[in-house]
C-alpha cells in the first residue's frame, strides 16, 4: 500500500487553491471547477468542492471547515525563510512562528482559509534530518 494523497473538501475552492498556490509555490492542476491538485515529488494535495461529495454518497460524508485534528505538513528547506516570505500574507492565520520542537524540527504553524492547520517544518538535528529522508 502507498499513501499518495490528502483531499480537502471546501465550499470555496478558488480561495483555497489560491492560498495553497501562494504558500507552496506549486501551480495547481485544475481539472474542472470542482477539483484541483497540487502534485509534489512525494504526494498530492487535492482540493474538491462540496459538489464532489455527491459522488461519494452525499453532503453528509464530509463537512468543510470543521477539521480540528489533522495537520497538513510540508517539509521545507528553510522554515525561517518561508516565515519571512509569508508572515504578512498569513496575518491572523499565524498560529505559531518558527519554533524548534523537542523532536528536532523547526516548525511554523498556521491555518488555511478553511481553518485547517498547516505546518511548515525543517529538521534541525541530525536525528530529525535522518527521519525526514
Mean pLDDT of the chain: 96
Report pLDDT digits (tens) over 86-120: 999 999 999 999 999 999 999 999 999 999 999 99
CATH of the domain at 110: 3.10.180.10
pLDDT of 22 reads 97
Range of 2's domain? 1-55
Torsion of CA 57, 29, 37, 78, to 10 degrees: -170
Indicate if 36 and 81 belong to the same structural domain: no
Predicted confidence band of residue 6 (pLDDT cuts 50, 70, 90): very high
Indicate if 50 and 72 belong to the same structural domain: no
Residue where the block lists cell 474542472: 32
Predicted confidence band of residue 55 (pLDDT cuts 50, 70, 90): confident
pLDDT of 133 reads 83
Q: Would 21 be classed as within a structural domain? A: yes
Q: Would 61 be classed as within a structural domain? A: no
Q: Would 62 be classed as within a structural domain? A: no
Indicate if 41 and 75 belong to the same structural domain: no
pLDDT of 58 reads 85
Indicate if 28 and 90 belong to the same structural domain: no
Q: Would 39 be classed as within a structural domain? A: yes
Indicate if 50 and 76 belong to the same structural domain: no
Indicate if 74 and 128 belong to the same structural domain: yes
Residue percentage of the chain with pLDDT more than 90: 89
Indicate if 76 and 117 belong to the same structural domain: yes
Q: Would 72 be classed as within a structural domain? A: yes
12 exposure class (CB count in 10 Å sphere: 0-12, 13-18, 19+): middle
Indicate if 14 and 72 belong to the same structural domain: no
* Number of domain units in the chain: 2
Amino acid at each position: 500500500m502507498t499513501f499518495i494523497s490528502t483531499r480537502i473538501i471546501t465550499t470555496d475552492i478558488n480561495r483555497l487553491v489560491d492560498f495553497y498556490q501562494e504558500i507552496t509555490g506549486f501551480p495547481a492542476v485544475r481539472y474542472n471547477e470542482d477539483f484541483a491538485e497540487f502534485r509534489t515529488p512525494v504526494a498530492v494535495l487535492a482540493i474538491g468542492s462540496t459538489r464532489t461529495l455527491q459522488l461519494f454518497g452525499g453532503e453528509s460524508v464530509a463537512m468543510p471547515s470543521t477539521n480540528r485534528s489533522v495537520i497538513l505538513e510540508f517539509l521545507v528547506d528553510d522554515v525561517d525563510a518561508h516565515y519571512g516570505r509569508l508572515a504578512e500574507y498569513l496575518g491572523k492565520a499565524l498560529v505559531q512562528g518558527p519554533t524548534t520542537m523537542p523532536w528536532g524540527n523547526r516548525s511554523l504553524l498556521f491555518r488555511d482559509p478553511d481553518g485547517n492547520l498547516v505546518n511548515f517544518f525543517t529538521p534541525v538535528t541530525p536525528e530529525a534530518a535522518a527521519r525526514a529522508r
